[in-house]
């Protein structure tokens, strides 16, 4: 009798498309290993869906650790009774806090995390240098690794179910890199508001209801322009959410979303991130980072919004991209 196909559900969040590319290649790898695979964006995932699958993949960009929407999704998960899962991410220069936070969180909700892996990705934040240190990622090698990881997770899930528990990845190490990054991130983690300042909406420039891009893509569901008065951001008339998100500002096609402080990104010009550089040098020396932008060609004098002044600054990736 033919063996039942392992059913895999891959749930991901993405803003600039890196995690989506990786998610799709993990899915291709899982399918090549004989699984039946479904890929879905986080906003379309439901807890009920999980019951239909044997193996769940969860992925997002690294924002200190996971993203707040993925974190909230995991926090409210019903008990998974030992169901197999794996975690993945894409990241810029500070990746090491993610798995030490996400893996225990998944375990707390009854998942058995069997593996995890992250990949470098380009970074598109309004005040960050462009070209960024990690531009060029994910590259072909990253995508090939993602495919191999997808196949490995399917194969391992079958074998772990058959008793080979030694294939479960060890818990993420709490090593010097994790503590070092926690130190660097600590001021950001403790900041109660957005370190980039608040973002506001200009009703004169806004084309709602013809346009609703920000409403459709705010990860926190903070925007509802159909209300009277319209709701925008965590304060109702502005967003200063602490997670350093600027997505609506980046994706508004009409320049209707603006930083409260007009000089905000001017001040980022010429700013070098020396702590990032030390880490990347080390990761490069250890062979875990492939560099495409030489250190002296990183765009310190051209933060993203000066390097790419056209609106929208960033396009929302389509699901079939």
Binding site for ligand SF4 (CB under 6 A): 199, 201, 206-208, 211-214, 218-220, 222-223, 225, 233, 239, 241, 245-248, 252, 254, 256-257
28, 38 Cβ separation under 8 angstroms: no
Residue 92's binding partner among ligand SF4, ligand FMN, none (Cβ under 5 to 8 angstroms by kind) is: ligand FMN
User: Does 17 engage in binding with ligand FMN (CB under 6 A)?
Assistant: yes
Judged by CB under 6 A, which stretch of 45-53, 73-81, 88-96, 164-172 contacts ligand FMN? 88-96
Please state whether the peptide bond connecting residue 299 to the residue before it is cis, i.e. omega within 30 degrees of 0. no
Residue 289 CB, shortest distance to ligand SF4, in Å, is 28
Shorter beta-carbon distance to ligand FMN: residue 67 or 80: 67
Strand partners, 86: 57, 115
Q: Which of 55, 56, 62, 87 binds ligand FMN (CB under 6 A)?
A: 62
Shorter beta-carbon distance to ligand SF4: residue 106 or 256: 256
Residue 260 CB, shortest distance to ligand SF4, in Å, is 12
Instruction: Name, in order, each residue with C-beta under 8 angstroms of 244's C-beta and a sequence gap of 6 or more.
Output: 63, 125, 188, 194, 195, 196
Residue 34 CB, shortest distance to ligand FMN, in Å, is 27
Chain centre distance of CA 147: 18
Shorter beta-carbon distance to ligand FMN: residue 16 or 157: 16
User: Does 251 engage in binding with ligand FMN (CB under 6 A)?
Assistant: no
CA–CA distance, 194 with 190 (Å, rounded to integer): 11
Residue 256's binding partner among ligand SF4, ligand FMN, none (Cβ under 5 to 8 angstroms by kind) is: ligand SF4
Stated as kind and residue range, the H or E segment containing 213 is: helix 213-217
Helices 18-32 and 140-161: crossing angle, nearest 10°?
A: 50
Cα Rg of the chain (Å, integer): 20
Residue 223's binding partner among ligand FMN, ligand SF4, none (Cβ under 5 to 8 angstroms by kind) is: ligand SF4
246-255 burial, b if ≥16 CB within 10 A, otherwise e? bbbbbbbeee
219-229 burial, b if ≥16 CB within 10 A, otherwise e? bbebbebeeee
User: Does 157 engage in binding with ligand FMN (CB under 6 A)?
Assistant: no
Residue 142 CB, shortest distance to ligand FMN, in Å, is 10
Tokens (6 digits) for 16: 């600039």
Residue 196 CB, shortest distance to ligand SF4, in Å, is 9
């Amino acid at each position: 009798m033919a063996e039942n196909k392992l059913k895999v559900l891959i749930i991901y969040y993405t803003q600039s498309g890196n995690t989506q590319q990786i998610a799709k290649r993990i899915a291709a790898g899982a399918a090549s290993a004989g699984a039946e695979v479904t890929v879905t964006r986080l906003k379309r995932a439901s807890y009920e869906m999980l019951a239909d699958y044997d193996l769940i993949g969860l992925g997002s960009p690294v924002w200190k650790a996971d993203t707040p929407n993925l974190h909230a999704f995991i926090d409210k998960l019903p008990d998974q009774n030992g169901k197999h899962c794996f975690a993945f991410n894409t990241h810029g220069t500070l990746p090491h806090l993610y798995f030490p936070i996400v893996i225990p969180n998944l375990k707390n909700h009854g998942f058995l995390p069997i593996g995890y892996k992250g990949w470098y990705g380009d970074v598109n934040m309004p005040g960050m240098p462009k070209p960024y240190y990690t531009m060029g990622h994910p590259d072909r090698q990253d995508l090939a690794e993602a495919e191999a990881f997808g196949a490995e997770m399917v194969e391992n899930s079958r074998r772990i179910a058959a008793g080979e528990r030694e294939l479960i990845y060890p818990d993420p190490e709490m090593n010097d890199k994790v503590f070092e990054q926690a130190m660097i991130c600590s001021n950001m983690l403790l900041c109660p508001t957005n370190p980039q300042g608040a973002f506001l909406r200009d009703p004169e420039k806004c084309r709602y209801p013809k346009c609703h891009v920000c409403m459709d893509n705010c990860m926190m569901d903070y925007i509802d322009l159909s209300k009277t008065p319209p709701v925008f951001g965590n304060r109702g008339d502005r967003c200063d959410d602490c997670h350093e998100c600027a997505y609506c500002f980046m994706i508004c096609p009409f320049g209707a979303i603006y930083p409260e402080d007009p000089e905000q990104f001017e001040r980022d010009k010429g700013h070098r991130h020396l702590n990032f550089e030390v880490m990347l040098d080390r990761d490069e020396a250890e062979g875990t980072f492939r560099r495409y932008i030489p250190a002296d060609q990183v765009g310190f004098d051209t933060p993203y919004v000066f390097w790419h002044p056209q609106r929208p600054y960033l396009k929302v990736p389509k699901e079939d991209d």
